């Protein structure tokens, strides 16, 4: 059984809480649109989200711990080479929430775990793929193929290394996901398995000598919107015309079939 873990940022760090809830609801609907019922969705929150969607497979978990400040990180001397204090603190919060969600998913007998960002959309085929995979005890998978999509655009941009820019891209066998001591472990690295997604493949290989397999279809839509760090414009800005054309030639028209597979619908309103 596949466990999807969705961590929610604290309300105080949201640019627009109402809009974030709209995004989360779309993500929850997307996850719960799986072709089979062999999954769980665990939503981990500081402030409980407000969405107009319920499903028997959704489990809400309150995160009872305070934020860890960057100077409290036991490996901050290493992390500061890569992250600002604010980014490290927020990534740590997210990583700890994913860890708590993984713990709950294991208790619910999920044998594969996937961290999903609260604004991403996933293919409805993931659960069936995991359940019916031909190789027993596979260590897990990495989603290579995905789309970048800006709301209301008529096309999405294909990306064959989506794991490099998006966190909703790894499905890992539960016994390979270590759940640290949430109260006493203050090491950033302990909670970075799903967070440091560009290195997750290497982490599993180096730690367990296990190789994550590729998923042979487009598995995720990375939503580009006003509340995240990038936009389609930034994605292509500053590029020579020939590179912009190349990017757009990799586009895919967003039709009804794609919308149904990923649960991609236009938000009712922007707030």
**pLDDT of 236:** 44
Q: d(Cα 221, Cα 264) in Å, to the nearest integer? A: 9
Confidence of residue 239 (pLDDT cuts 50, 70, 90): very low
Domains within the chain, CATH numbers bracketed: 2-262 (3.90.550.10)
Query: Taking residues 127-153, what's their average pLDDT?
Result: 93
Q: d(Cα 26, Cα 264) in Å, to the nearest integer? A: 7
Q: Which residues contact 223 (CB under 8 A, 6 or more apart)?
A: 23, 119, 120, 121, 149, 150, 151
User: Does pTM surpass 0.85?
Assistant: yes
**pLDDT of 248:** 55
Query: Taking residues 20-47, what's their average pLDDT?
Result: 97
Half-sphere exposure of 145 (CA within 13 A, CB side): 12
Q: Which of 72, 70, 49 is nearest to 60 (CA)?
A: 49
| Percentage of the chain modeled with pLDDT above 70 | 89
The tens digit of pLDDT for each residue in 105-119 reads: 999 999 999 999 999
Confidence of residue 241 (pLDDT cuts 50, 70, 90): very low
Query: Taking residues 238-242, what's their average pLDDT?
Result: 47
**pLDDT of 231:** 45
């Amino acid at each position: 059984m596949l466990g999807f873990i969705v961590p929610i940022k604290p309300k105080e760090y949201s640019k627009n809480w109402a809009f974030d809830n709209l995004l989360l609801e779309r993500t929850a609907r997307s996850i719960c649109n799986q072709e089979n019922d062999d999954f769980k969705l665990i939503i981990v929150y500081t402030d409980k989200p407000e969405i107009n969607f319920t499903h028997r497979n959704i489990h809400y978990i309150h995160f009872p711990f305070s934020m860890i400040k960057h100077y409290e990180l036991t490996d901050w001397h290493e992390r500061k080479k890569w992250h600002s204090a604010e980014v490290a603190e927020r990534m740590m919060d997210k990583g700890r929430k994913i860890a708590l969600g993984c713990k709950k998913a294991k208790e619910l007998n999920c044998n594969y775990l996937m961290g999903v960002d609260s604004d991403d959309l996933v293919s409805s085929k993931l659960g069936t793929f995991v359940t019916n995979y031909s190789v027993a005890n596979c260590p897990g998978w990495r989603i290579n193929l995905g789309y970048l999509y800006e709301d209301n655009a008529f096309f999405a941009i294909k990306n064959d290394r989506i794991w490099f820019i998006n966190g909703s891209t790894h499905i890992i066998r539960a016994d390979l996901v270590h759940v640290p001591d949430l109260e006493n472990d203050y090491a950033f690295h302990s909670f970075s398995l799903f967070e440091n997604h560009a290195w997750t493949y290497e982490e599993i290989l180096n730690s367990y000598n296990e190789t994550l397999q590729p998923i042979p279809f487009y598995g995720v839509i990375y939503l580009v919107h006003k509340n995240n760090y990038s936009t389609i414009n930034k994605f292509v800005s500053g590029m020579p015309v020939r590179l912009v054309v190349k990017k757009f030639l990799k586009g895919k028209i967003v039709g009804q079939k794609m919308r149904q597979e990923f649960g991609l619908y236009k938000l009712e309103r922007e707030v």
